[in-house]
Each structure stands twice: as structure tokens, then as C-alpha cells.
Amino acid sequence: MAARRPHKTSLATPTSFADLGVPGRLVAALEQAGISKPFPIQAATLPDSLAGRDVLGRGRTGSGKTYAFALPVLARLSAAASPRLPGRPRALILAPTRELATQIEATIAPLATALSLRTLTIFGGVSARPQIGALRAGVDILIACPGRLADHVSSGHAILDAVEVTVLDEADHMADLGFLPVVRRLLDKTPPRSQRLLFSATLDAGVDVLVRRYLSDPVTHSVDSAKSPVAAMTHHVLRVRHDDRLPVLVDLTAASGRTLVFTRTKRGAKKLTSQLVASGVPAVELHGNLAQNARTRNLAAFSAGDARALVATDIAARGIHIDDVTLVIHADPPAEHKAYLHRSGRTARAGASGTVVTLMTDDQVTDVRNLTRQAGINPTITELRPGDPLLTELAPGERRFVTPPAATTAPHHGRGHSATRRANPRTATGGSTAGATRGRGSESRRASAAETTSTPRGAAAFSAGTRVGSRRGQR
């Protein structure tokens, strides 16, 4: 295979999809979905990918990479009259996590349906039987996590010799040692002259392993520099005492809006979720020890606004798009700068604004300083204690709490429990918030009812929901 071409940075103003060569049926389907103007990563890569070239596309998270690779896949398959064969997909999209695979399928499916193409998502943590049945029925576009797909290939239920185009989303992550062997085995099963598209927010030296072996005369497009920060994203580092971490987190997550909180470990995510719920903050967790139904349910609760905080490991750092995440908190600073950029990219997406907060204790000062420097970030650093006015600036709005699980079985005696109150984070973490402000009049009772019915199953349900089906699974 030829060596990779020099990196190209594209600053071209996006034109229309039709001008870029997207077929009319696809343009019409995009317009039906309310999408009429391509993002820069799409404008940069589509002419080459639609022409059948192998492409590496780099754009920061939230830049529109999914449509950048989905459109050439759909255009290629719809233009050919190849039959749909049992167990032999015509296009393969590999993604590192179940959530990302599901999200890609949700983006592609409406467009595929308009073109009479069939999609299928495959990942672990769920029964393989329905996946085998769907493969036998025939599929055009297969979106898969590498581990489960490798199982189907080994058992003969999936055969990759008819794949016309292969996509690696989050390509740098796929080049990590944990994924690389199985990814290479899968790519070895695809036709050597088929088209390959690699996309990621970062394209570093690790990706070259895949590029040299599997791409032919590739063209590389980058729509921004590797470390360019999002203009509408503000970065803050809060230097706090260790004992103040939880009160500060409670204060920030109790504000209105969606907050995504990252921890380093699955155990840490579970523990912090329980602490937030006990403090009256509707929160759910997302990590690899949850069964798939629990992961799906918790992500849906966060997307719908039933849970205001999602506490996650780096499973949620890549590719996951949830509308209106206004605040990302690194409760545990990540180990390396790429994780920081991917985590932070869950906010300020597609032109929206957002805030990123990193909590730093005294023993983390050197690590955080190195982390932000490597990420190309110059954050505002503030040493503070719970109750500092800056917390309200970072997470505006009144702090709202629901009755924590321990208080849900207590008799109400006709009184309205506290629904909306100003946070005192140092006491909020101590357990029940019930009765902190008793509502004696009808106005207070109505406010209490509004808060508790906005999360119909109550805080106890959030706590239980994060425990259901816990088991070790694929991140």
C-alpha cells in the first residue's frame, strides 16, 4: 500500500450537499431530516470519499463526522444493484462502544430506509440469537463492535468478503492495543481493494499501523488543528480539598440542565452516582459493568431529562451525542490529554456553547498542569470551597433536589417536601433533603409536586436503575 499523503487542513466554506456530489435522493432525505448545509469535515471529505478514494478524516468531536462517512457509504450502496446476501454485509462500520454503534445506526437508519437499504447493529452484552437471525435475512450496512462481530465471523454467521466499503469510527481508539488485534483480523477478512474510511477527533501515530496495512493511496483531511479548542467551550480547573469534592459536585449537578460527570473507574462511577442520588440529585451511571438494558435505560433517562446528571467512565467520552449537555465535569482528571479532549467534547457540540470543569486536589496539581498543556488548553484555575459564588456562575440556576431514597417510604402527613431550595452543598451530602423547607401553602405543595413528578419513579428508582443487571461487560 502507498504511504499516507501529507496532512491537509481544510478551511473551505461548506457548500450544499448537492454541490459536493451527494445523490439527489440522499439530499432529499437529508432535507427531510432538517439537514441542508454540510459541516466543514463533510465538505472537506465528501468529494474524495464519494469518488471512491480511501480517506482519513480528522475533525474535533461534535464536528459532524458521522454524516461524513455515512453519506458515501449510502451513496455507494444505493448506486449499485448488488443483491442482499445472507450473512454477507455490503458495508461495515466498526465502532469501539455499544452506545456509539447504536448512535451511528440511529443516524444512518432513516436515510437507509429512504434508499431501501437495511441496517443492523451488532455488539456484546445482549443475546446473539436475534443478531444471527438478522444476518441470515441479509443486511446492507453492518454497524458493529469488534468483539461480537469477531464471534459471528468465527462461527460463520458473518462473512466479510462482500464488503465494498469499511469505516473505522474513532480510528485512534481502534488502533489501541486492546482493539488492534481483533480489528486487524476483521479487516483482513474484507476485500483488499475495497474502500476504507478512517475518522476520528485525533489521528496520531498509532493510526499509521492501520493506514500502512489497509489503505491505498489515502487522502487525509483535517478541518482544524489537532489541539484547536472549541471557541464556545470554556475550561475551568477548581482546586479543592479532598473532602470538598463531593459537596462541590453536588452543588454543580443540582443546577438545571444536563451535566456529564467523568470518573476514571467503574467503581468510582457507581459510588459517585449513589452519593449524588442520596444527596437528592437525580443521577444515573454508565460504565462497562452494567448490562446492556441498564446502560440503554440510564442513557435514555439522561437524554430525556429525567436524570440531570450522568456519571460515566470513558465509555461515554467518544462519539456519544446528547443534546444540550451544558456542563462536563472531570471529577477524576483523565490519565492522558486525548481523553480530556474527547470527554470535554460532549459539550459545545455543533456550534452550541458549554463549560468544562476539572476538579483538582493538591496531589494532582502537576498531573493536571501537564494534562492541560498537552491538550492545548489554558484553563482558568481557581482555589475554592463549597458555597463559592463561582459555582453558580459555572452552573447557573437554582439548585433543585428530589427526596432521596431513604425518605421515600416516610409518611408525608399532607406536608409538601422540599422541591426547590438554595443549595447548601455541605449539608446536602448528608442524606435526606426532605423537610429542609416545608411548603405550608398551596403554592409550595404545587412546586413540590412539579419537582417530584418530573422524575416519576423518584430518586429511589434512579438508584435502583443503576444497579439492575450490573455485570461485567464490554466498555
Residues of the chain with pLDDT under 50: 1-6, 9-12, 226-230, 407-475
pLDDT of residue 440: 32
Cα 445 to Cα 348: distance, rounded to the nearest angstrom: 36
CA dihedral 180, 157, 55, 225 (to 10 degrees): -50
pLDDT of residue 113: 93
Render pLDDT for 442-475 as a digit per residue (tens, 0 to 9): 333 333 333 433 333 333 334 333 333 333 333 4
Cα 373 to Cα 375: distance, rounded to the nearest angstrom: 5
Cα 281 to Cα 314: distance, rounded to the nearest angstrom: 22
pLDDT of residue 459: 37
Set of cell numbers at residue 285: 451511571
Q: Which fold has domain 233-398?
A: Rossmann fold (3.40.50)
Residue 125 CA, chain-centre distance (Å), reads: 18
pLDDT of residue 453: 30
* Same fold: 8-222 with 233-398: yes
Set of cell numbers at residue 155: 462461527
Render pLDDT for 89-103 as a digit per residue (tens, 0 to 9): 999 999 988 888 998
- Cα distances (angstroms) measured from residue 192 to each of 212, 247, 446: 13, 56, 66
Give the strands of the sheet with 219-222, arranged side by side.
8-9, 219-222, 55-58, 195-200, 165-169, 91-94, 141-144, 119-122
Give the strands of the sheet with 309-312, arranged side by side.
283-286, 309-312, 258-262, 325-330, 354-360, 233-239, 380-383
What residue ranges do the domains of the chain occupy? 8-222, 233-398, 405-459
pLDDT of residue 293: 87
- Decide yes or no: CATH 3.40.50.300 for domain 8-222: yes
DSSP for 222-235?
ESS-TTPPPTTEEE
**Contact status, residue 434 vs residue 440, Cβ threshold 8 Å:** no
Q: How many CA atoms lie within 13 A of 429 on its CB side?
A: 17
pLDDT of residue 101: 92
Which residues pair with residue 262 across a beta bridge?
Answer: 312, 330
pLDDT of residue 232: 67
Q: What are phi and psi of 208, to 5 degrees?
A: -60, -30
DSSP 120: E
